[in-house]
Amino acid sequence: MGINPYPYSCEITHKAEEIKASFPLLEGKTVRVAGRIMSRRVFGKLIFSHIRDESGDIQIAFQKGTSELSPPVEDMEPLKFAKKYLDIGDIIGVKGVVFKTKTGEISVLAEEFSLLAKSLYPLPEKWHGLRDKELRYRERYLDFIVNPEAREIMKKKSLIISKLRNFLDRKGFLEFETPVLQPLYGGATARPFTTYSEALDARLYLRISDELYLKRLLVGGFERVYEISKDFRNEGIDRLHYPEFIMLEAYAAYWDYNDMMEMAEELLTSLVQEIHGDTEIQYGEMKLSFKRPYKRVSFVGEIEKQLGKNPLGMETDELREAAEELGIPGAEKLPQHKIIDKIFDRLVGENLIDPTFVLDHPLILSPLAKKHRENPGLVERFELFVAGMEIANAFSELNDPVDQRRRFEELVKLRKKGDEELPPEIDEDFLLAQEHGMPPAGGIGIGVDRLVMILTNQPSIRDTITFPHLKPRS
């Protein structure tokens, strides 16, 4: 036929939504648009199609005697080409005049049109196509084509990350990139992904946290640092957990967890206000209020209210029995500190709906946080819960290298007892850095994907991820 169905480029002057929003100014003017054909109706000498670009849909009218094919095809009338060879799913470019149909729909009358990419497969049928969640995740590109709401989630996620970054930049924080491949994992408790460097002849791990490298920057003289990056944890997948996820971590020298609490409140409330225009939003069936100040509760105190006794005074067997009664899976194999954490999540965390700071965790749960200045059995730590899920975790950061070494040694002992989520050895390089003097600091980690879940009203973390992993097709 002599036509290239995959040309190199196309000039565009306007987006679909821009044309509709600026119709009074653009009526009768020539525009150039491009997009994917989403519908087609043939009426003799007229064809009406809707094309979809990133901004939305707009109707294109092809008319015999008016619309020309570019480049032209010998012995082929342009409208006949459009009828015979342009299909739903094809991407086209159009130069034409903006007008409004008799039914009042803003449209573009094509003076010139080009085929930019031929789709070799039909799109899913509009109403009965991508309804299956697994298929939507597996063929995500089709999900984005046929479900504008899926695209909107990703656009809003990009906006949210941009606003997080802008907020910290305004506060004087510097953004850094720290190693993704690490010789020893740390900063959290999780099973790592393991790889091997041929060049270094060494085993390496995909990071489970950025924390220990960002703290090295504090030692190096940078006073406010942050990173927004992917972390990787070789764990299960459910509505709140995914093996690779976006984490924001920020550290400020000379702050403590009270300062971080203040900043977290300001950050989240301003973010909600900017995204939604209000401090109250809907999440599922819940109405969430981000009006400051946020509620504050005690980690140990809330468990004690539910169990009728202080969990720190309970024996492991007694805690395990309580966990089993609550239906916590695998409780018979969990160490004491993990049982306490699971009991909190089940009895308290899942029921914290409005933004709530949970304060002052047991020392055994927080190896990188400073001991509480008034209660040495606790640490200065908070978790921020919203809609029953933890979205932030923060400390007054431990900067005493002697105390830090002692706690690392305890972690290694727990590892030898079978806790595979803990590193197998002490991070001597981090301790060496800390021994050179790390300033007192506050630090925070925010789970960006969970935050996006809440701000876009999505039930699962996978709905906020562009291309979520699935098990291989059977």
Q: How far is CA 200 from CA 181, 182, 425, in A?
A: 12, 12, 20
The CB density around residue 374, as the number of other CB atoms within 10 Å, is 8
Burial of 320 (0-12, 13-18, 19+ CB in 10 A): buried
C-alpha 112/C-alpha 20 separation (Å) is 20
Q: How far is CA 370 from CA 134, 180, 192, 360, 463, in A?
A: 44, 26, 25, 10, 36
Task: List Cβ<8 Å contacts ≥24 apart for 69-77.
Answer: 69/112, 69/113, 69/114, 70/112, 70/113, 70/114, 71/3, 71/114, 73/1, 73/2, 73/3, 74/2, 76/1
pLDDT digits (tens, 9 = 90+) for 328-343: 988 888 888 899 999 9
C-alpha 234/C-alpha 177 separation (Å) is 22
Q: How far is CA 369 from CA 78, 323, 341, in A?
A: 71, 26, 16
What's residue 124's pLDDT? Answer: 82
Token output for 310: 């202080």
What's residue 414's pLDDT? Answer: 87
> Is 105 a residue whose pLDDT tops 70?
yes
> Is 474 a residue whose pLDDT tops 50?
yes
Instruction: Tell me the average pLDDT across 249-271.
Output: 98
383 assigned binding-site residue:
yes
Residue scoring higher pLDDT (126 or 118) = 118
What residues pair up with 280 in beta bridges, in sequence order?
289
C-alpha 235/C-alpha 241 separation (Å) is 8
> Parallel, antiparallel, or unpaired: how do β-strands 174-175 and 224-232 relate?
parallel
- Which is nearest to 311 in space by CA: 335, 337, 329? 337
What's residue 130's pLDDT? Answer: 58
- Which is nearest to 252 in space by CA: 219, 218, 227, 220? 218
What's residue 1's pLDDT? Answer: 65
Least confident of 111-120, 304-313, 432-441: 304-313
Domains of the chain, with CATH numbers? 16-117 (2.40.50.140), 146-294+354-463 (3.30.930.10)
pLDDT digits (tens, 9 = 90+) for 197-232: 999 999 999 999 999 999 999 999 999 999 999 999
Name the pLDDT band for 127 (thresholds 50, 70, 90): very low
- Which is nearest to 215 in space by CA: 189, 178, 244? 178
What's residue 129's pLDDT? Answer: 52
What are the b/e assignments for 189-200, b being 16+ CB within 10 Å? bbbbbeeeeeee
Residue scoring higher pLDDT (49 or 122) = 49
Least confident of 34-38, 269-273, 366-370: 366-370
Q: Which helix (H) or strand (E) holds 159?
A: helix 148-170
